[in-house]
Chain A
């Protein structure tokens, strides 16, 4: 009996390994075959992708976009496509897409040339600014005010890079640059006074602020130190899948779905009120090419 189960295990493992290698085919075929799309979401990237403690699931702007994507994929293949969510961190999101653990990451990833070399990216769907969250009574108005202060940012983010570069260039002299693993950890460090300013994208900082017990004590500063165009991560050399993601974005803009989702998360009633700038609105309108219902068909 024992021997049999051992052989079964060996057999099962080898089947998994074999199917694992054959599974590494084009993403679209795999999604059709399995009826599942594996999507990476962040756990604390408010309001783009985060875990809502009340429902214990990933929610947010990008999660809604993922639902839209799955819906469209369902229309394409004529069957229900379900999302299998994975939690990713800034550190793991690109490797997990590249090695095939997930098919795409829909979150709040900044599109950079360096990252483009490793993975592919969708259209840019949002712009944020790298800035700082500080205590309201700290009286920080300019970058120079942050000299001599302790500044934090999360590992492997463009924000950390921006802070480091500015410090290196002598634009300001922080007394220390503290590296945290996640945004909630950064917020915790800020609240407990370990750091004086925490840096990431303005939308995320607003999100952290709104989720803290006393949002009125914190503010994001008025200046920005870098601009962050957001895009979704997909694997390189799979243009059919990337096109599908892109068309989902464009189609949602055309049908107004995009703005509904934006309104839900970042409208005046949303979790993180963030007004669309006129330039951003224009960008969205201008990037849409003529696209008709039924585009999802093969």
Chain B
């Protein structure tokens, strides 16, 4: 059996494949960034809900986290893309399905809501590590509950949670590769297209891998800077 394989690395830059990879990277960064914004906003909200003194709010927060983090992301994507529009009745679902960039909207929303559940969980851990006396100290200064969270507790917990949140920030970009299954032309999608076109999947996948690696390293460096900048004075750090 002859398994000789001839490498052709030029599929990584040759016209039109080089441009396809760049476009794919652009889409990956775009999806990841948009999803991240949703994830942070929703994640902070849900994370805070989970430590309020109101039972229903706490329950809602817990429900959200358990719902989104216990269903595989791929299944969630299929649900949002294929099933969710049908919930809106015939005419409206048709209009939703006719949206030009539906797959992209769904990707951002799906990825954002999923990552939010994970951020909420890290934030809860951050909240938990803040001693009860600190809450009491804040309230004793005369701030209201809302002000307490807004000005003291959330900024405090966010800083404590920076390391795990860095990991999530990294993951959100890696998870964008899942949305190729609903036809969004991100980096993995493009590398598969190149493979289908040229049968040089090994090179295309390696190329995509290296690009992901470079992207990830950049993000880690960026988060390092943030972490240093927002380090809580007096805590053990690097």
Contact = CB atoms under 8 A, between A and B. Distances in A.
Given A237-B1, A237-B2, A179 B85 contact: no
B14 interface: no
A26 B1 CA distance: 7
Given A236-B2, A237-B2, A238-B1, A176 B100 contact: yes
B3 interface: yes
Contacts of A94: 199
B84 to A, nearest CB: 11
Contacts of B98: 193-194
A114 B181 contact: no
Query: Residue among B85, B100, B185, B199 with the most chain A CB within 10 A?
Result: B199
A112 to B, nearest CB: 11
Interface string A165-187: 00000000000101111000100
A85 interface: no
A91 interface: yes
B236 to A, nearest CB: 36
Given A91-B195, A179-B183, A192-B93, 7 more contacts: A91-B196, A185-B82, A192-B82, A192-B97, A194-B97, A194-B102, A235-B1
A179 B98 CA distance: 16
Chain A at the B interface: mostly helix, strand, loop or mixed? Answer: loop
A47 to B, nearest CB: 24
A193 B92 CA distance: 11
Contacts of B93: 192-193
Contacts of A236: 1-2
Interface residues of A, number: 31
Contacts, number: 52
A155 B192 contact: yes
B86 A91 contact: no
A25 interface: yes
A98 interface: yes
Contact of A24 (B1, B183, B189, B201): B1
**Main DSSP-derived SS at the B contact region:** helix
A24 B3 CA distance: 10
Contacts of B195: 91, 156
A100 B97 contact: no
Contacts of A160: 196
A79 B181 CA distance: 43
Interface of A: 24-26, 91, 94-95, 98-100, 114-115, 117-118, 155-156, 160, 176, 178-181, 185, 188-189, 192-194, 235-238
Nearest to A95: B201
Q: Which of B97, B193, B201 has the most CB of A within 10 A?
A: B97
A188 B193 contact: no
Contacts of A117: 199
Given A194-B102, A237-B1, A91 B97 contact: no
A117 B196 CA distance: 14
Nearest to A177: B183
A118 B201 CA distance: 12
Given A25-B1, A236-B2, A193 B181 contact: no
23 contacts: A24-B1, A24-B3, A94-B199, A100-B1, A155-B192, A155-B193, A155-B196, A156-B192, A156-B196, A160-B196, A176-B100, A178-B183, A179-B183, A181-B181, A185-B82, A188-B82, A192-B85, A192-B93, A193-B94, A194-B102, A235-B1, A237-B1, A237-B2
